[in-house]
Copies of this chain bind each other. A is one copy, B any other.
Amino acid sequence: MQQKIINPQDLAFQLYELHNVEQYLSYDRYSDHSRETLQAALDLALKVAAEEFAPHARLVDEEEPRFENGRVEMRPEVKKALGVLKDTGLMAAGQDYERGGMQLPAAVAQMCVGLLKGANVGTQGYAGLTIAAANLIMVQGSEEQQARFAEPMMAGRFFGTMCLTEPHAGSSLGDLRTRAEPQPDGTYRLFGNKIYISGGDHELSENIIHMVLARVPGAPLGVKGISLFLVPKILVDEDGNLGDRNDVALAGLIHKMGYRGTTSTMLNFGEKHGAVGYLVGEANNGLAAMFHMMNEARIGVGLGSVMLGYTGYLHALEYARERHQGRPIGEKDPGAPQVPLIRHGDIRRMLLAQKAYVEGGLALCLQGAMLVDEKKFATTDDQRNLAAGLLDLLTPVIKSWPSRYCLEANSLAIQVHGGYGYTREYPVEQFYRDNRLNPIHEGTHGIQGIDLLGRKVSTAGGRFYRELMGRLEATIGEARQESRLAESADCLEQAMKAITQATDVINGEKANGDKEKALANATLYLDAFGQVVVGWLWLRQGLKAIAGLAGKGEQTPAFYEGKIKACEYFARYELPGVVSAAELLKALDTTALEIHEDQF
């Protein structure tokens, strides 16, 4: 394996055997596609990732973007790589043909992006934000906004940003203060300060299109008074020609622990007479508009986290095979040759844990992407609604589970490398720093936990939660028929029962009124729930591996055996923790609420 971005067998297994993405080729939208066209797109993305993105990943970490003479300066490799990406057309991989897109299924389109993230998360950031902003305009914007702004973005001529956070409000979006004053011509003038704007300024593209949350005069307080605006860095006339600089000023750069290639900026809107902005969708409906894209954005965060974990795992695996050090336990002869690291039990345990985390995380993110398509294109309303509900339920897990466990995979990759892993002469320490962003942006673990436990598990009277658990039960029943999976099926059943009991108790407490108590351990619930979901995806992988070994698959026997081992690992090492966490959850523990502020 020359590239250390993904195991091609695993990618094929997950897409075509586990999730069977080909089933969607029956949808009208994808009818022109075949296994070959999907694979061609993935091969192209992997080639660009390996040849154009990976080689400068360390460089943009070492020489992060600088603020010079009011401009953002960065390494030239970034613009070159993004230019190649633009030329491939992959920036519009999921978009309509008529918009210049490839109309690829969501799982494949996400995966094309994921491969770039695994290769160089910093450079990919500019493309990723552009795709997200363009998607937002495509869904929420007017025809005219789509043509004038989104199409040049999908073609890679304009880049995009998301401007949500303000310095005083952080995650509390309802408190944002940026104001948008209506003008006689129907446009707005924006005034306010935004922070953590990734890709907020640079010289990579002809223009930058900011998607900005702000308030119109008289808007209600809180999240119900937020509107979405499109604010270009450079004004664009009706024919698409670039005009004057808009009143958007770069106030400074933020310096991060990792993810350094993607510049993070502070932007001031309206230092002079206001930044010209265009309302997207309806006034006071901006957060809903933005959240419409949130599922996909959060899958993107989860998948990015997975791919950083995945590349770390492949680097650790290669190192463990090549590096000779120490001798097996019990070898008494100090003159015996040193053995490869992978011969040591503890090294194998760390590699197996990484495999379980990153391949489990990939299965989880692709499950989410499959639901995105089912939600949009399923042929019956019922299927569509069910997919939408399941996707909403799984989104906080997809966002958070990889950003914990694939970060842990990165830590284990360092550990496999020993002292070398801690040095910047090897790449694994950067993956670890880069990945540490993912538990924070697009909603912290704390926020995802409240989303899952406070809302999602009880949506529609708990219908989607029960549907998911029903799917788990079906998989458990099927796996119990296979002697090699019976033990893993039992482990999953115990974990599922434990989380079900905890959910019932907490739902009771929510209904009885002490919501703060009910949600006191929402983050732990999120984690335990995620372990159960990934345990399910591992059991499904185990079933497909058994089928593969019986001749119903395209991969090698060794590959399938590895899947079964990783399934066992997950059941034995990871799932038992769910049972003890569920005890705490069932007890509605309030230790953290009880300690007074002056007792810390």
A residues touching B (Cβ–Cβ < 8 Å)? 165, 169-172, 174-175, 195-196, 220-224, 254-258, 264, 317, 321, 325-330, 334-335, 338, 342, 344-349, 351-352, 355, 411, 414-415, 418-419, 421-425, 429, 432-433, 436-437, 439-441, 444-446, 449-450, 454, 515-516, 519-523, 558-559, 561-562, 565-566, 568-569, 572-573, 576-577, 579-580, 583-584, 587, 589, 591-600
Cβ of A380 to closest chain B Cβ, rounded Å:
38
Inter-chain pairs besides A172-B326, A175-B338, 12 sampled, C-beta below 8 Å: A170-B326, A172-B338, A220-B334, A255-B424, A345-B593, A346-B523, A348-B593, A349-B592, A352-B591, A418-B444, A433-B433, A561-B599
The 10 sampled A-B contact pairs (Cβ below 8 Å) are: A172-B325, A256-B422, A257-B422, A328-B516, A346-B446, A346-B523, A346-B592, A415-B445, A558-B599, A565-B599
Given the complex, which residues of B lie within 8 Å of A342, measured CB to CB? 597
A446 contact from B344, B521, B592, Cβ within 8 A:
B344
A14 to B483, CA, bound (A): 54
Which residue of B344, B423, B569, B576 is within 8 Å of A591 (Cβ)? B569
Which residue in chain B gives the minimum CB-CB distance to A224?
Answer: B334
Residue among B165, B254, B425 making CB contact with A423, cutoff 8 Å: B254
Enumerate the 5 nearest inter-chain pairs by beta-carbon distance, A residue then B residue, closest first.
Answer: A222-B334, A562-B599, A349-B592, A346-B446, A576-B580
Q: Complex: how many Å from CA A568 to CA B592? A: 10
Query: Which B residues touch A345, using CB under 8 A?
Result: 516, 519-520, 592-593
Contact in complex: A325, B171 (CB < 8 Å): yes
Knowing A321-B597, A565-B594 are in contact, say whether A334-B174 is a contact too (CB < 8 A): yes
A342 to B599, CA, bound (A): 12
**A interface SS class:** helix
CA distance A329 to B597 in the complex (A): 17
Bound Cα distance from A424 to B562, whole angstroms: 40
Distance in Å: Cβ of A142 to nearest Cβ of chain B: 29
Report how far A418 CA is from B444 CA in the complex, Å: 8
**B446-A422 in contact (CB<8A):** no
Chain B residues within 8 Å of A568, by CB = 591
Write the nearest CB–CB distance from A436 to chain B, whole angstroms: 7
Smallest CB gap from A353: residue in B: B592
List B contacts of A328 (CB < 8 A). Answer: 516
Query: Which residues of the other chain, B, contact A593 by a CB distance below 8 angstroms?
Result: 345, 348
* Complex Cα spacing A419 to B442, Å: 10
Instruction: Report whether A423 and B522 are in contact in the complex, using a CB–CB cutoff of 8 Å.
Output: no
A561: which B residues are within 8 A, CB to CB?
Answer: 595-596, 599
From B165, B169, B520, A349 is in contact (CB under 8 Å) with B520
> Which of B450, B584, B600 interacts with A317 by CB under 8 Å?
B600
Closest to A259 in B: B422
For A447, the closest partner residue in chain B by CB is: B346
Give Cα A595 to B566, complex, Å: 9
The reply to whether B515 and A433 contact each other, CB–CB distance below 8 Å, is no
Q: What residues of chain B lie closer than 8 Å to A600, measured between beta carbons? A: 317, 351-352, 355, 562
Decide: A433 and B329 in contact? CB cutoff 8 A: no
Q: Contact between B325 and A521 (Cβ–Cβ < 8 Å)?
A: no
Nearest-neighbour CB distance to chain B for A175, whole angstroms, equals: 6
Task: Name the residue on B nearest A445 (C-beta).
Answer: B415
